[in-house]
A and B are shown apart, each in its own frame.
Chain A
Amino acid sequence: EAQVTQNPRYLITVTGKKLTVTCSQNMNHEYMSWYRQDPGLGLRQIYYSMNVEVTDKGDVPEGYKVSRKEKRNFPLILESPSPNQTSLYFCASSTPGRSTGELFFGEGSRLTVL
């Protein structure tokens, strides 16, 4: 089954404790992206990756890091989480052309930073 898998789905952590949210897709998609969703603000892009070892900032990259060492995986790293990073996070992937292409989303990871 074609899917984008995120882990963990739910996480409560404390300020400053490094954490990683994993994302894996089995569709051989070149493009992967991380979004956060906050009430009233919609989805905002954090980082994206066009292919292995190619990453770039989205609209709200502060406080986040990413890496793309393998085509299927695109982890999101919070080196020192803060309460304003409490949010619902989504990973997405696609096969891009001139545009991003049809996006496929993971189930989401709800993060609470105390």
Chain B
Amino acid sequence: KQEVTQIPAALSVPEGENLVLNCSFTDSAIYNLQWFRQDPGKGLTSLLLIQSSQREQTSGRLNASLDKSSGRSTLYIAASQPGDSATYLCAPDSGGYQKVTFGTGTKLQVIP
């Protein structure tokens, strides 16, 4: 059974700092991995989906990397802004139709 760990559970940084969020998973046989953002009281917004054949995916100030063999993914946020404050979740997809497993997230606070 896939297990997903996100460390740290919470992170507080000053505005402008570059930061890395970590995601590790136990079953490396995945098709893709998706990073989501969740604002308080809101749904999940897809940030990046990185295929198993890819090593990186970029969108604006966000960069996600994937190392399948070691069961790790990182989300890099450049020049953080207060608007980046949210909970970030990773979700590896092991294939099939019920094989997306979610981490419990990293709660990020960017202080102005």
Q: Which A residues fall within an 8 A CB radius of B?
A: 4, 31, 33, 35, 40-43, 45, 48, 50, 56, 58-59, 90, 92, 96, 98-100, 102-108, 110
Residue of A nearest to B45 (CB): A105
Contacts of A33 in B (CB 8 A): 98
Q: B35 CB to closest chain A CB, in angstroms? A: 11
CB pair A100–B99 under 8 Å, yes or no, is: yes
Q: Is B112 an interface position by the 8 A CB rule?
A: no
CB pair A104–B102 under 8 Å, yes or no, is: no
Residue pairs across A and B with CB atoms within 8 Å: the count is 63
CB pair B43–A106 under 8 Å, yes or no, is: yes
Q: Mark B43-67, 1 if CB is under 8 A from A, else 0.
A: 1111001000000000000000000
Most buried by B among A31, A58, A102, A103: A103
User: Once bound together, how far apart are the Cα atoms of A100 and B98, in whole Å?
Assistant: 7
- Cβ-closest 5 pairs across A and B: A99-B31, A105-B43, A43-B102, A105-B44, A42-B104
User: Once bound together, how far apart are the Cα atoms of A99 and B100, in whole Å?
Assistant: 9
User: Once bound together, how far apart are the Cα atoms of A98 and B95, in whole Å?
Assistant: 6
Residue B104 contacts which of A40, A50, A58, A102 (CB distance < 8 angstroms)? Answer: A40
Q: Mark B86-97, 1 if CB is under 8 A from A, else 0.
A: 000101011111
